[in-house]
Amino acid sequence: MVNELRPLTGADLPALLQLDQQLFLEPWSADAFQRALDTERYLALGVFAGARLVGYLVGSAVADEGELLQIGVTPESRRQGIAAVLLAEFRRWLSQRRVAAVFLEVRASARGAIAFYGQAGFTQIGRRKDYYLSSAGREDALLFSLTL
Ligand SMILES: CC(C)(COP(=O)(O)OP(=O)(O)OC[C@H]1O[C@@H](n2cnc3c(N)ncnc32)[C@H](O)[C@@H]1OP(=O)(O)O)[C@@H](O)C(=O)NCCC(=O)NCCS
């Protein structure tokens, strides 16, 4: 099945919520996604295999800073370059807005995501102690940045 990359719309909201809830312990609310879909400073992108949403990215740009807010790929579609395509498109969007650097926070336990960010050129710039809820109580957030 050929994958298609395109901006997400309100019609994608049910699939987006379902995938986000499947992937994250603290998923976004429908309102949070709706705001991202409706607001100019956000970018919401999806990768589709036929009609099925298999990956998504939500990011923002405020002044000269970008933020990667959420990225996820269904377990069965991983290691096929889908997140890399989403990130490349986000970087292109940021560059058009003359954004100089992009930041993100990730759970310290998210080894796959940390490996992905590392190979994409991000460097760790900080740590927020006990920032996230976790099944074991709380866990740290790692802060990463990438200069564009
Ligand atoms: C992190 C995530 C989005 C990566 O998606 P993906 O589509 O599988 O990533 P890609 O295929 O584009 O990976 C590109 C490269 O990143 C690195 N990489 C990606 N996932 C990796 C993993 N689990 N372990 C080691 N390296 C990894 C590899 O270098 C990979 O290239 P390769 O497959 O040729 O070796 C996906 O694993 C995911 O959804 N995880 C759960 C949600 C999550 O933690 N999101 C981040 C929260 S901030």
37's tokens: 């879909």
pLDDT of res. 136: 86
Q: Which of 53, 47, 43, 67 is nearest to 145 (CA)?
A: 67
The pLDDT tens digits of the residues spanning 96-143 come to 999 999 999 999 999 999 999 999 999 999 999 999 999 889 999 999
**Domain ranges, residue 84:** 3-147
Structurally, the chain folds into a number of domains equal to 1
The domain spanning residue 33 has which CATH number? 3.40.630.30
Question: Which of 3, 79, 87 has most ligand 1 atoms within 8 Å of CB, for mutation?
Answer: 79
Answer yes or no: are the C-beta atoms of 131 and 139 closer than 8 Å.
yes
Buried b / exposed e along 109-134 (16+ C-beta atoms within 10 A): ebeebbebbeebebeeeeeeeebbee
| Contact 73 CB / ligand 1 (< 6 Å) | yes
SS3 for 61-82 is: EECCEEEEEEEEECHHHCCCCH
